[in-house]
Structure 1
Amino acid sequence: MKWKLKKKILIVLIMPFDLFGYGLYRYTFHMRCEEVPELKLNDGATRIFLNTRGKHPELVSLELIELLKYMERSTDEVSRECKSKRIQEMHRRVCQIKASEKAEVKYMQTWEEKILIKQAGIAEGEQIGRSKEKTELVKKLSNKFSIEQIAEMLEIDISEVEKIIKEIAK
C-alpha cells in the first residue's frame, strides 16, 4: 500500500562543524526503512544538514557557501566579500534591526525574561529536590528518633519535621 502526505516538510540544521565527517557543505536525507532500503516513508519530510566548514565547493552553489560563511560570521567584512546581492541585502536588514533601539530593547527584554524563567525553574527544581530528600530522610529516621532529634540532625525547625510527618501519614 502506498501513501503520501500532501504537505512537504523541510527541516534545515546549520552547524559550524561537520556532523558526518565527509567534508560536505550539505547532507540531504529522506526517510528510508533501515531493514528494506528501497522502502521509503513518503511523509514529505526532507532533512538537510548544512556544514559551515565544508570542503567540496564543486558540489554546491557559491551562494550557499557564501551564506554559510555569513551565518558563521555575520560581519560587514564577510558581507562585502559576498558576490550574492541577496546576502548583502540580508546583511543590510540585519544591521538595520541591530541599529534599531526599539528592536534592541525588545530583544534584551525577551532575553532577560528567558533567563529569569530559567532561574525560577532551576530554583523550583532544587526546592522540590530538597523537599523530597527531607521527606525521605524524615521517613527513614522517624522509626528510630524523636521529632526533636530529627530536627536537630537535619538542622530544620521542629514544626517543619511535624509537617513532613503529617504529609507522610496522608
Structure 2
Amino acid sequence: MQIEEAIEKYGSLVIHIAWRITRDEEATKDISQEVFMKLHTAWADGKEIDARIKSWLGKTTLNAALNTRRQNARLVPFDEDQSPLCTEGGIADTDRTLLLDKIHQLIPSLPERQQEVFILRHFEGLPFDAIAQTVGCSPLAARSAAFQALKKIRAWLTSEPVPEKKVPPKSEVDSNAFKK
C-alpha cells in the first residue's frame, strides 16, 4: 500500500478521531498531517504495519489528539458554525446538539483510557475488538471501560455542576508574607 492509498482509505477515520477529541479544525488538520507523516516514516523504516494499519492509525491519531488537547488545556466553547442549532428536526435536533456539546465538555473529565474507548465506541462506532486493538487492551477491558465511562457521563448529566478537569491544588501563599 502506498501513502496516497492510505490517505484515501483511512483519511476520514483519522480526521474523525482527531476532531472528536480536539474539536478544533486547525488542530485536526495538523494531527492528520502528523499521523500520515509518521506512517510514511514507519514504512520507510521498514516497519510491517500493513496488516494492522487501521488500528495503528487509530491509536496514533488518538495519542496525537490527546497530546494536542493536553497542550492546549482548554475547553472548546460551543460554536454555532460547528454545530448548527436550526435544522430540519427543530427542537429535537437542538436538544440533541446541546446534549452532545455537554458530553464533549464531560469527556476530558474521564480517565484517559475511558476517554479513548468512549470516543471510539460511541462516536466512531468501532466494535470492542477493534477498540481493544487500537488502545492496547483486551476486548473485555474495552467493554468495561466503555461501560464505566457511560455510567459516569450519565451520572454527570443527571447532576450538576459539570465536573472540571482535575487540576493540582495551588499552594496556599500567606498574603502577609509579601507585605513589609
**TM-score category (smaller protein):** under 0.3
Higher relative contact order (CA 8 A, sep 6+): 2
Structure showing greater radius of gyration is 1
Q: TM-score, normalised by structure 1?
A: 0.26
* Structure having the larger proportion of residues in strand: 1
* Structure having the larger proportion of residues in helix: 2
